[in-house]
Structure 1
C-alpha cells in the first residue's frame, strides 16, 4: 500500500438527498406548491432484478414506480422515490430510532415562514426558538414542522452568523445564505455594484478604526473572505485590523483607481494603485469581487509582480 498517495477529493459537495415517500402526488404537491421547489426530472418504473434488490437491501417483491428530482431552493437537490411494496413498513421511525432523519432549510424570515405554513394548514411543532448565549450555534433561530405524511422539516435562520464563525475557524459550514445564485435571479445592478466597490476603496483608505469598521459593516458580509497573495482574511474585524496595520506601516499611502470599475452579473474587477501622492503607482493590482444580497462576500486580490 502506498501511504504517500495523494488523497482524492471524494466529495466536492452535497448533490442531493434521496427519500421514499408513501404518495408521490401528495409529496410533489407539498414540495412544489407549499415549499416552492422546482420539479426538474422524472423517471417511471425501474426494472430491478433479484441480484440488485439483494445488493441494495430491497424486498424482493418491491418495485420502483416513480423517481422525481426537485431543485430545492438554493442548495442540495431532493430525490423522491415511490415504491410498490406490499410488505413495506408505512410507519415513520420515532425520533430516537436509527432510521429517523429530518431536512433542514434556511429561511430569511422565520416568523413570516411560520405564519405562512400555518395558513396552509401545516402542523408546526414549536414556535421559533433562538439559541441562547454560550454555544457554537448562538445566533441561530429554529423551528420544526411536519409534512402531511409525517416527515419533520426544520427551518433555521442566522442572519448575523453563528458564534463559532466569529472565531475565524479554518472551516465553516456551508450555508445557502451565502450562496444566493438561483434560477431566474437577476444580477446585482451595475450601479449598485460600483457603489459597493467604491465604498470598499474608502474602507481601505480610512485610518480611523471605528469609522472603518462601521463602513465595513455596511459593505461587507459578516463572513467576508479576502484571499491575498500573502494572507487570507475572514470576517469584518480581521479585515479592518489588517487594513489598519497596512496603513500604519505605509503612512501617506492611499488606494486609488487606475481605470473604471468593470462589472457583470454579481462580480466586479477593480484595478488599483497604492502609494503616496508623489508616486501613487508604487504598488498596483486588481481585486475580483463576488457580491450577494447587496454585500461583498468574497474578494480575490492580485498584486502585480507577486505570485504564490
Structure 2
C-alpha cells in the first residue's frame, strides 16, 4: 500500500553560512539547532563515510548548519570551499528542483522583509482566485540567489475546491 511520506528537510548550498544563518533566522524566523561547524574529509567516522558517499573523494571540507521551521522541517545549510560565489541563474526548465515554498499569512510583510535584507521580489504578489478567495503567492529570492515561493495559505487549502 502506498502512503504519503512526510517531508524531513531540504539542503541549501550557500556562499557564506554565517550570513545565511543570520538571514534565515532573522527574516524567516527559523530556529538554529546546530551552529555552523566544519566537516573535514575522512573515512574514520560514520559522517565522514556518508559525506564521501555523497560528495565523492576530494571535497576536502565544508561547513554545515542545521535550522528548523516552525512546523519541524529541517533546513540544512552547506558552505563548500569550491562554491561559486555568484548567485545561480534562475532556470526552471531542467529536471530537478527549482524552488521551495514557505507559508506566511502576512505575505506583504515577509516580502518587504526579504527585500530589506538583501533579497529580491521576483514578481508582484498575485491572488490565486481574485475577488473570490484570499489566497496569494509570490516568488522571491534570498540574498544568495536561491529562489523560493511564499503562500498565504496551506498547500492543501489553496488547491482544494471546498475551502472558503
TM-score w.r.t. the length of structure 2 is 0.73
Identify which of structures 1 and 2 has the higher relative contact order when contacts are C-alpha pairs closer than 8 Å and 6+ apart.
2
The verdict on how the C-alpha distance between 1:63 and 1:98 changes in structure 2, with shifts beyond 3 A counting, is farther
Please show how residues 73-222 of structure 1 align to structure 2 within 5 Å.
73-85=70-82, 92=88, 94-132=91-129, 140-158=135-153, 161-166=157-162
Name which of 40, 44, 50 aligns with 2:33.
40
5+ residue gaps in structure 2? none
Misfit runs of 4+, over 6 Å? none
Taking structure 1 as the reference length, the TM-score comes to: 0.42
**2:136–2:153 Cα contact (<8 Å) kept:** yes
* 8 Å CA contact retained: 1:63, 1:83: no
CA contact (8 A) 2:41 2:59 kept: no
Q: Is the 8 A contact 2:121 2:141 kept in 1?
A: yes
Give the match's secondary structure for 2:26: helix
Aligned partners of 2:41 and 2:52 also within 8 Å: no
Preserved CA contact (<8 Å) 2:127 2:137: yes
Per the alignment, do residues 162 and 95 of structure 1 end up closer, same or farther by CA in structure 2, a change over 3 Å counting?
Answer: closer
Measured on the aligned residues, the alpha-carbon RMSD in Å equals: 3.3
Verify the 8 A CA contact 2:135 2:151 in the aligned structure 1: yes
1:98-118 Cα shifts (integer Å, max 9, x gaps): 344212110011122223333
